[in-house]
Amino acid sequence: MNVIVIGGVAAGTKTAAKLKRQDRSAKVTVYTKGKDISYAGCGLPYYVGGSIENREELIVNTPEKYAGLTGVEVRTQMEAVGLNAQAKTVSFENGETVSYDKLVIATGAVPFVPDVAGKDLPGVFTMRTPDDAIDLRAYAESNHCRSAVVVGGGFIGLEIAENLLAKGLKVTVVDMANQVMPNLFDVEMAAYIRRQLQSRGIRIITGAGLEEILGNEKAAGIRTSAGNFDGDLVVLAIGVRPATGFLSDSGLLMNRGAIVVDQQQKTNLNDVYAVGDCAQVYNRITGKGQWSAMGSTANITGRCLARNLTGDTAVYKGCLGTGVVKLAGDLNAGRTGLTGEQAKEAGYDVITVTCVTDDKAHYYPDASAFVTKLIAERNTHKLLGIQVVGAGAVDKMVDIAVTGIAMGAAVEDFDTMDFSYAPPFSTAIHPFVQACYILENKLSGAFETFTPDEYASGKAKGYRVIDVHPSAAIPGAEWVNLSKVTAPLEGIDLEEKLLLVCARGKRGYFLQNRLKALGYTNTRVLEGGASINNVKAAFAGGVLPAAEIKRVKGLGCLQDKRYADVFNVRVITRNGKITAGEHRVIAEASERFGSGAVTMTTRLTLEIQGVKYENIQPLIDFLGEHGLSTGGTGSLVRPVVSCKGTTCQYGLADTYGLSEKLHERFYVGYHGVTLPHKFKIAVGGCPNNCVKPDLNDLGIVGQRVPMADFSKCRGCKKCQVEENCPVKVAKVADGKLHIDANACNNCGRCKGKCPFGVLEEYKEGFKIYIGGRWGKKVAHGTPLTKIFDSEEEVLEVVERAILLFRDEGISGERFADTVSRLGFDYVNEKLLSDTIDKAAVLQKTVKGGATC
């Protein structure tokens, strides 16, 4: 038997290897378009991020190694261009035509690249082959890229985004759908994923169709139907299409480019089979055709086909669309089966539940939670699908569901299964089973709820919000102490509509159980509680309590004292520099949610004026969707201020670059670290002090220290250095130039002024001032006794200053007071040479004293 396999990645190599093991006499030849075979396509994003260090780790087998292991002949760089099924031949681009007894088409898929201007610019990438990942990583490193736009919010797009973020790039993900991971996750789960990604630093834009890739000599961002988005590189992760163009006139039956096969991978042509991303398979639940461009499907169907070709019967029973993805930081997501919408479209009477459970024993270190959505058929209770998001092993939740769905299990069938348990791995009742219990309670009517989607669509309108947290946590809601509920709630009628909300939904269910026993007839629990819902409640009489005003102040919203419910909201601009697109977003936000006016603060943040209380959260959400945030209040590191730096004629340092690093490391990175008081940082590009670095808690000033060669001095009567010294510390005396190093402010204005080369060499660096302050009390900072050579040195000293303030500062005192109390010499020594135990300092409990 002469078998030709076209395609040498997952499906092709799996089919060929298994076939050869089944029948050693078979002649099996793999023809592949590329130079590599059997590479780890799913690992490409992790090469970009550096988790996989070198190219060789991506290559599962070389052609030579594979041929030696399997006995399969491999022909690389052979692109198939035609099929003559009647003659049983395949023709290739190099002119060769080969015959077959059996033909396996495993050509996979190719990235979809829309026909837009700029798609061929340097800096535009797809992600399909090892070379794609290698080129992307090399480009990002060699071009010192600091930002990226990823077009496509599916699995690959979000994996690429996570890995680019891990490399220190600012990442924007843009998708034309109205959610991330469309057709994979239901809208409320996608919304939760989106919020989590944004909180970890990835900017998400949905509802934006790609129209153009911007840039002249290289990519500089994209233009979309929703505006322009800047990026030093662009990754197109819009999706893939079956690589079947060369088969268009072959007679093969295809559906949207995917080859239609039966459950044994046969096509409509005799002795022609197809597997992998180029073939359409079946959905195991609905029985309908489905395209499953997954490495798992490719390998499974490839193995089945090899058995079928050698006399066995191996029926492929269909896919479930199973997928799992590692997202930013500690966030993972997985899914299988039908989404709620897909199940409805398939004709099922659908019931769902969304719940939050521990992923392992709550007391075990690194314990977290699963957010789980189960989809089932209402009448039969048959499990149809699952979606899970969390920090833990979401794959184990998904795999249990895969097994159950494949076996046709109802949710009750899992109740007493003996799943593994130990505190590091799971809970005593497995989290999957807990989700089943919750759905069973809903099916029985014991648990009456609003789903997150129902709540977001307004179905809870008219319900009174009851806060069931251990302590009051929902502004405007009435808090109920669960442990004390033994009689009807005072002032609440038995027929009143009550929405019971806690952190996850569990305490809400407990309260509902008690209230039903007490005669309440109209209670609903909000599924997933405040963990995954944006819960709102109206304040009694419309009056905002002091605690709520304090809470929103912490979000960067300062009350307009003329009104009870109007605030001015600070938008962080990182260093006073924002893009034209960000300007437009802020202007639109001001018009939509505020008075239409925007003011500039002395700290170079923007304030949107006149925001009504009920518009604060929608405003914050809108800004977050466009990569902007609010804040700048409290006993924290404040937004960094910088001058124009090297864009100014006096600039000695890249202040914008340094201030952005300071912003990311300390404003963002330390945003959960309370200090004794506010801590302000300013970066000046030269000693002109335009942003007054020495009047901040910590100020950084660019320096150009003259390294004079006085042997070249000729004692000119009219010395050009002396003439041009702005602070008059350069003097010619006794026929020689003298510079008072203690009085020189290292502005660098003397550079190149001496025609005889006395001042040709300079040390570039930074001076750091500590203990400055302005406001009610003014204090000028004192410079540390060292000129710092690099930005990394500066960042290290800034962190040491923050840690020292947290460790040795007193609640309510500014850093200037701390420096004065401890003594400058002591602080100088601590910052320059002494050891500071960062972990111990960050574990301390510190009470902040800032009032604004």
Handedness of CA 262, 8, 182, 220 (dihedral sign): negative
* CA 46 distance to own-chain centroid: 14
3-state secondary structure 7-69: CCCHHHHHHHHHHHHHCCCCEEEEECCCCCEEECHHHHHHHHHCCCCCHHHHEEECHHHHHHH
Percentage, residues of the chain above pLDDT 70? 99
Q: With 90 as the cut, is the pLDDT of residue 429 above it?
A: yes
For range 508-522, the mean pLDDT: 96
Quote the CA–CA distance of 756 and 713 in Å, as a whole number: 7
DSSP letter, residue 488: P
* Residue 592 pLDDT: 94
| Whether residue 671 has pLDDT greater than 90 | no
Residues 6+ apart with CB under 8 A from 729: 739, 740, 743, 744, 745
Class of domain 540-625: alpha beta
Question: Tens of pLDDT along 117-133?
Answer: 999 999 999 988 888 89
Over 80: is that where the pLDDT of 485 sits? yes
> For residues 523 and 462, what is the distance between their CA atoms, to the nearest angstrom?
12
Question: Helix, strand or coil for residue 405?
Answer: helix
Name the fold adopted by 450-532: Oxidized Rhodanese; domain 1 (3.40.250)
pLDDT the model gives residue 776: 84
Q: Are domains 113-238 and 330-444 of this chain identical in fold? A: yes
Res. 110 pLDDT band, cuts 50 70 90: very high
151 has a pLDDT exceeding 70? yes
pLDDT at 31 over 90: yes
Give me the percent of the chain exceeding a pLDDT of 90. Answer: 79
Domain ranges of the chain: 2-109+242-309, 113-238, 330-444, 450-532, 540-625, 635-704+765-852, 708-760
Q: What is the pLDDT of residues 609-637, one digit of tens each?
A: 999 998 998 999 889 888 888 998 889 99
Fold of 2-109+242-309: FAD/NAD(P)-binding domain (3.50.50)
Decide: 399 and 323 in contact? Cβ < 8 Å: no
Buried b (16+ CB within 10 A) or exposed e, 750-760: bbebbeeebbe
Average pLDDT value for residue range 813-832: 96
Range ranked top by mean pLDDT from 272-276, 605-609, 706-710 = 272-276
CATH class (in words) of the domain with range 635-704+765-852: alpha beta
Amino acid at 647: T
Q: Is the dihedral of CA 808, 812, 818, 822 positive or negative?
A: negative
pLDDT, mean of residues 347-362: 95
**Where are any strands of DSSP class E within 359-405?**
369-377, 383-390
Average pLDDT over residues 240-263: 95
Average pLDDT, the chain: 93
pLDDT of 541 reads 67
Q: Which of 295, 288, 374, 297 is nearest to 337 (CA)?
A: 374
Q: Count Cβ neighbours within 10 Å for each residue of 108-137 and write b for 16 or more, e otherwise.
A: bbbbeeeeeebbebebbbbbbbbebbbebb
665 pLDDT band, cuts 50/70/90, is: very high
From 36-45, 192-201, 706-715, 817-826, the region with the lowest mean pLDDT: 36-45
pLDDT at 468: 96
| CATH number given to 113-238 | 3.50.50.60
- CATH placement of domain 708-760: 3.30.70.20
According to CATH, the superfamily of the domain at 330-444 is: FAD/NAD(P)-binding domain (3.50.50.60)
Q: Specify the 3-state DSSP secondary structure of 463.
A: coil
Residue type, 204: I
- Cβ atoms 21, 106 nearer than 8 A: no
Taking the alpha carbons of 246, 252, 255, 260 in that order, is the dihedral positive or negative? negative
| More confidently predicted of 81 and 545 | 81
If you average pLDDT over each of 47-56, 106-115, 321-330, which comes out highest? 106-115
Region of poorest pLDDT, from 82-86, 197-201, 295-299, 438-442: 197-201
